[in-house]
Structure 1
C-alpha cells in the first residue's frame, strides 16, 4: 500500500511540475512583414524562450491585415509599420492601438531600372507609388525634396497626388499596393519603394536607390499593441529584446545603414 501511495505521489508531483512548466510557457503571437521585421524577431526567439515565452510568428506582407488581426485579437502585437500609418488606420477603422517600442527607421527610396539619376526623367515619365495614405504622402515628400515635384505642403502626412502644386515634367503616377512595387519596377520609369520590400527584391537603399530619406525621417518603425496591453510582462520582454544592445548590433552588422536603429 505504501508503495502504491509513493508511486501515486510521484505521479501527482510530476503532473504538477509539468503543469507549472506549461503554465509558464507563454505563447506570444506577433505578425510581421518578412524583411527585415520577421528576421529581427527570429533573431530574438531564443532569448524570449529562456524567459518562458514562445514567440509565434505570422509572416504577412499585406499591410492591410496586420492591424485588423491585432484589433480582432488574432495576434498579441505586430511589427511592420510606422506611427503615421498606425494613426491613419486608427482614424479610418476605429482601432484602439498604441506604440510599445520605437525600433528603427527604414529609409524609403526611389529606384529605377531605366535611369541612373532623377535628372534623366523625361517628359511624361511614369512613377509608381504606394497607395496607402501615409506611405503615399511619404513617397511624394521624397519626390518633392529631390526636385521632381512640388507639393502644397511637404509636411502634410495625408498628401496625395491631388496635393501636387507643380509637376514640371508632367509625371504620371501609378498608385498601387506597396508590396507590388518591386514587381512593376521594370515597367515604370521609377518606383518609390519601402525598404522592407526593396530588400526582398535584393535592392540596397544605400547602393541602388537614386535617392533615399535621411536619418531624420519621422517614419520610425514600431512595435504595436492593443491599447491597454502595455503592462503585459510578455510584451515588455519582447519590447526589451527588440531594443537591446544585441539587436542594435544585429541591425548594424547585417544592414549596413539600410536600417537605422533609433534606441
Structure 2
C-alpha cells in the first residue's frame, strides 16, 4: 500500500512539474525570448492619434511593449480613466488643460513627455492678407476659454487688437483694450468655424479642424506665433503613483523616447502638412 501511495505522489509531482513548465512557455516574450511582453493602454481622442503613434507602436513592439490604443469620444473621460487605473497613459491634451483638470478634479496624474503643438492660424475665404481687413469685418474665434484666449493672442500678434496688461493667461473679449482695426469678433464653437468661413471675413481655426476641412497651413493669412508657449504643448500623461515606481517609470521612458523620434516627425511633416509641430523633445520630464 505504501508503495502505491509513493507512486501516486511521484506521478502528481511529475504532472505538476510539466504543467509548470508549460505555463512558463505560454508567457508572452519579446524577440529575444528573455522577458515578458508589457501591455500598456494609451487613451487617445480620434483616429488621427493612432496614425501619429504608429511609428512609436512599431518601435515599442520590438522592445517587448505592446501599446494598445483606447479611443475616447470626449476630452473629459480620458483623464478620469487614467486616474482610476482603467488605462496606463493618455496623450490627447495640452498642459493648461491638464493643469485645470487636476485643479478641478484632484486627479493624481502628471505629464511625462512632450509631444507636439497644434498651431491656431487665421484663415479666410474672402481676403488674402491681414492688411486687407477693414472696419466692420467679422472674425470668428473659438468660444471655449482656453482656445478663445489663445485666439485673441493670435489676433494681437497680428496687430488687430491690444489686450489689457491686467488680463490673465487666457484673456476674454472683455479683456480687449483697443482695436487697431475696427473688426467685430464672433465667438463660435471651435469645430464649426471652418464651415462658417463663408459667413465671416476670417476665422481662427484649430489645427485638427483645419486638417479635417482641408485647410492648408500655407493658406493661412496669419500663422500662430505662440508655438514656444509651453502651456499649449501637448503631452503624454501618467498616474503619479506609477511615475514613482522605478520599473514603470523605466517603461514609460521607452514610450516617450519611441514617440520623440525622427519617424514620428516624418509623419508630422509628410502626412499632416505641418499641423503638428514637435516641441519640448529635449526636455526629460521623467528625469526626477
TM-score if structure 2 supplies the norm length? 0.76
Q: Give yes or no for the alignment of 1:153 onto 2:165.
A: yes
- Deviation of 1:179 after TM superposition, in Å, equals 3.5
Equivalent in the alignment of 2:254: 237
Q: Distance in 2 between matches of 1:80 and 1:9?
A: 47
Q: Distance in 2 between matches of 1:101 and 1:78?
A: 11
Following superposition of structure 1 onto structure 2, how do residues 187-202 of structure 1 map, counting pairs within 5 Å? 187-202=199-214
Asked if structure 1 preserves the Cα contact closer than 8 Å seen for 2:115 and 2:235, the reply is yes
Contiguous gaps of at least 5 residues in structure 1: none
Q: Give yes or no for the alignment of 1:13 onto 2:21.
A: yes
- Deviation of 1:109 after TM superposition, in Å, equals 0.7
Contiguous gaps of at least 5 residues in structure 2: 1-6, 282-288
TM-score if structure 1 supplies the norm length? 0.82
Aligned residues: 261
Instruction: Compare 130-139 and 7-16 and name the one that shifted more.
Output: 7-16
1:108-141 per-residue CA deviation (whole Å, 9 max, x = no partner) reads 2112223222233344433332233222211110
Equivalent in the alignment of 1:225: 238
Q: Give yes or no for the alignment of 1:144 onto 2:159.
A: no
Q: Distance in 2 between matches of 1:75 and 1:186?
A: 41
When the two chains are superposed, the root-mean-square deviation of aligned CA atoms in Å is 3.2
Q: Distance in 2 between matches of 1:130 and 1:92?
A: 22
Considering only CA atoms, is the larger Rg found in Structure 1 or Structure 2?
2
| SS of equivalent to 1:153 | coil
Instruction: Compare 43-52 and 16-25 and name the one that shifted more.
Output: 16-25
Q: Distance in 1 between matches of 2:100 and 2:197?
A: 27
